[in-house]
């Protein structure tokens, strides 16, 4: 190891809490004079040679060591867990291991939600979901085993400047809607539909990921958790707090996702989460980009109906939404805009 690599490694050890700052300050001058970092860690911190070797192998604990698996690299990082590409040494199969991070492991509520998500996913089988193969624990590590999927989330693609034309966006939304319809048949609402939870695989398939907020339609959030999901994509009823949210709430979030894909930004943007929540409840949808980008009347119709403030004016089921989008993608001009407009007028103005 060169001195530059050792300095970086020492910084990692300090950052992850293995070495105190004052100890690192004592080690650093000797390291600059050419002393071996491993020896200095033994002398100043009291680490054994075996412990130093493990810290090096795992980059200070960033890379897990789990018997039976060869970690091949990090595939992603989230707020509560890291995902690693790994080889199952028994079957030689490549899997994704989702490992709960240290801070989340110490939080009982987060830990229980992680386990519940893994057990739920293990019961579900649909082409639009990443298959789960159970949850396990090794020492203080909690991890779930998932099929490994090559690809990127739609949010990653948006952040890289990828433009989604109307047809590509509608096809993605259609596939997600079909997956959400399956979840509904299993009495599950996703509650966190957004581009960051939708993957486009390298072979062109769409996968819905992260069931961390999923639950039964009649399962309201707890008193300490009045809203669930990601603020920018919450339906008005969820934004008000305390609403369990049914399929129509997921339809609203999918409508925000469609807007994001075809416009390139969110429909409601504020200085903070509270401002965004207020806009979702009170402010009517208005976007000059929907008109200026030459989008079809069908896309306008889908977004407005999916994102209707009032539940009764929104699509009432994924089956209804799927039929309309599929009809449009097949080139049939059969959507009854006039009839829907009359229905909305009878229902009164959206608020």
Q: Where are the domains of the chain?
A: 3-57, 69-147, 151-347
Q: Mean pLDDT of all residues in the chain?
A: 85
Give the DSSP letter string of 212-244. TT-B-TT-PPPTT-S--S-GGG--HHHHTSS--
Confidence band of 248 (pLDDT split at 50, 70, 90): very high
pLDDT on residue 288: 62
Share of the chain above pLDDT 70, in %: 82
CB 180 within 8 A of CB 254: yes
Could you say which of 1.10.8.290, 1.20.1080.10, 1.10.260.40, 1.10.510.10 is the CATH number of the domain covering 151-347? 1.10.510.10
CB 177 within 8 A of CB 323: no
The SS3 call for residue 111 is helix
Give the DSSP letter string of 239-278. HTSS----HHHHHHHHHHHHHHHHHSS-S---SSHHHHHH
Reported as a single tens digit per residue, the pLDDT across 95-131 is 999 999 878 888 999 999 999 999 999 999 999 999 9
pLDDT on residue 300: 87
Confidence band of 57 (pLDDT split at 50, 70, 90): confident
Window from 17-26, 96-105, 285-294, 338-347 with minimum mean pLDDT: 338-347
Catalytic annotation, residues: 192
User: With 70 as the cut, is the pLDDT of residue 174 above it?
Assistant: yes
Over residues 136-146, mean pLDDT:
94
Radius of gyration of the chain (CA): 24
Q: Are strands 151-153 and 69-77 parallel, antiparallel or unpaired?
A: unpaired
Over residues 150-164, mean pLDDT:
93
Q: In what order do the strands lie in the sheet with 151-153?
A: 151-153, 198-201, 206-208
User: With 50 as the cut, is the pLDDT of residue 351 above it?
Assistant: no
pLDDT on residue 256: 93
Buried b (16+ CB within 10 A) or exposed e, 149-185: bebbbbbebbeeeeebebeebbbbbbbbbbbbbbbbe
Could you say which of 3.40.50.720, 3.30.200.20, 1.10.600.10, 3.20.20.10 is the CATH number of the domain covering 69-147? 3.30.200.20
Judge residue 261's burial from the number of C-beta atoms within 10 Å of its C-beta, 0-12 exposed, 13-18 middle, 19 or more buried: buried
């Amino acid at each position: 190891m060169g001195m530059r690599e050792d300095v970086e490694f020492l910084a990692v050890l300090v950052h992850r809490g293995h070495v105190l700052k004052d100890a690192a300050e004592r080690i650093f001058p000797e390291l600059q004079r050419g002393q071996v970092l491993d020896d200095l860690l033994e002398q100043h911190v009291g680490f054994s040679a075996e412990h130093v070797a493990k810290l090096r192998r795992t980059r200070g604990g960033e890379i897990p060591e789990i018997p039976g698996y060869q970690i091949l690299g990090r595939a992603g990082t989230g707020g509560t867990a890291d995902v690693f590409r790994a080889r199952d040494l028994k079957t030689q199969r490549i899997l994704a291991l989702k490992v709960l991070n240290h801070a989340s492991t110490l939080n009982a509520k987060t830990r229980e939600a992680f386990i519940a998500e893994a057990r739920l996913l293990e019961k579900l089988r649909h082409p639009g979901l990443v298959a789960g193969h159970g949850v396990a624990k090794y020492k203080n590590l909690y991890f779930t085993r998932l099929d490994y999927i090559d690809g990127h989330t739609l949010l990653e693609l948006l952040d890289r400047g990828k433009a989604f034309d109307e047809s590509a966006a509608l096809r993605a939304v259609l596939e997600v809607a079909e997956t959400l319809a399956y979840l509904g048949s299993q009495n599950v609402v996703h509650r966190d539909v957004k581009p960051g939870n939708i993957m486009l695989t390298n072979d062109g398939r769409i996968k819905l990921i992260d069931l961390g907020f999923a639950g039964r339609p009649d399962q309201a959030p707890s008193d300490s958790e009045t809203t669930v999901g990601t603020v920018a994509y919450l339906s008005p009823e969820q934004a008000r707090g305390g609403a369990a949210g049914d399929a129509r709430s997921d339809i609203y979030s999918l409508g925000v996702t469609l807007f994001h894909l075809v416009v390139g930004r969110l429909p409601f943007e504020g200085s903070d989460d509270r401002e965004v929540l207020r806009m979702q409840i009170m402010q009517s949808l208005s976007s000059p980009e929907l008109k200026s980008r030459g989008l079809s009347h069908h896309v306008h119709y889908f977004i407005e109906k999916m994102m209707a403030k009032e539940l009764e004016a929104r699509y009432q089921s994924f089956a209804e939404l799927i039929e309309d989008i599929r009809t449009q993608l097949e080139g049939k001009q059969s959507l009854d805009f006039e009839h829907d407009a009359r229905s909305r007028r009878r229902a009164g103005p959206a608020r």
